[in-house]
Chains A and B, each alone.
Chain A
């Protein structure tokens, strides 16, 4: 089979879920429409899935469905941000972001005591960038500002945060994640972070 894809039959086999569950989860948007990849076969068309994504997703759904309703789970996977407000003390006690990230965030947002979902997402991304060690502080600052300005677009598209560097000068952009980014020679993409994945990670924490 083609690399990175799994057939529907193999998927059901491997995960032990039924056709009924798969179709129900699809209807509830627990599994995104784009993951159903159709290819021609003698029966008309066969459905394939991106192997790693779907296996990880089904694992998560199976773990969560004991405690949550399908609609609640769908909310967690949806790229549409939830309405939430968390205060400063909760941030550290609930382990949403590291002290370093909170410190970094508050240098730009003074007297911020209540954190809405966009703030939390920014915090989460800052935390990730700090920990990855790929970027220096100025670049993280630029990335954070770019995110803040383009936040509205995440709801509409599946976006990536991309940081490129050439001759020591870095540039930060936000682009749709299904498009390849071509750069001039000498420029290097040092980071590409999918925002939908970040939102999903964050939702699982809060």
Chain B
């Protein structure tokens, strides 16, 4: 159907609507949408529950949204909180708030400035994190660029270029937190296996790191490094074993 024939859906109070094909969907109160929902633009600033699959060209969640189904979007921004119980497929996704994606995430680009939990694999062309994340499966991207502002976890990380750096403020945050809470904070990156062509790591704990050019920097604890061309260890990095492989 053409865009001009589609209707808008606006929920400002508390209401339940049927799914369907809409032009723009705006939920600023408390809204529930039953059934699959297909729209051009989606904005949630209140609380929304979608009982079905959601598909939108672009959109933004500034409030809270729960999607009990799969979610597809070309361009999406999460400023509030989004929980997707199915799979999420996206072009570009920016997460400034929080998100939990239960069925796995595939996107062209993922940018994290808040916190994300992916209970499956996370696939992207570019993955940039300046926040915290937990990926229960494989985190795979051409370029993985992580600046550690909080605890980051993935079972496996694979890609072409993998770079993990600690942030400046994170240092201060850690000192403050350790004084105030006297907790054993584990705020670096933790992974079982990290595999890439060019790997640069700081503050990372991993059982194995494999790559062509591997640089293990400050604060790392690595069990085994297997490299093809170059291996370097800087700062107070701990590497139990390193092996050159052909």
Q: Which A residues fall within an 8 A CB radius of B?
A: 9, 13, 18-24, 26-27, 42-45
Contact = CB atoms under 8 A, between A and B. Distances in A.
A23 B158 contact: yes
**Interface majority SS (helix, strand, loop, mixed), chain B:** strand
A20 B160 CA distance: 4
Given A43-B193, A45-B192, A23 B140 contact: yes
Contacts of A24: 142, 160
B202 interface: no
Contacts of A20: 142, 159-161, 196-197
B195 interface: yes
Contacts, number: 50
Interface residues of B, number: 24
Interface in B171-205: 192-193, 195-197
A13 B245 CA distance: 9
A44 B193 contact: yes
Contact of A19 (B211, B224, B245): B211
B192 A43 contact: yes
B55 interface: no
7 nearest A-B residue pairs (beta carbon): A20-B160, A43-B208, A44-B192, A23-B158, A43-B207, A20-B197, A27-B123
Contacts of B161: 20
B226 A19 contact: no
A27 B140 contact: yes
Nearest to B210: A19
A19 B195 contact: yes
Interface in B80-133: 106, 123
A43 B223 contact: yes
B15 to A, nearest CB: 38
Given A43-B224, A44-B193, A23 B159 contact: yes
A9 B159 contact: no
Contacts of A42: 207
Contact of A9 (B106, B140, B245): B245
Contacts of A9: 210, 226, 245
A7 to B, nearest CB: 11
A26 B246 contact: no
Given A9-B226, A9-B245, A19 B192 contact: no
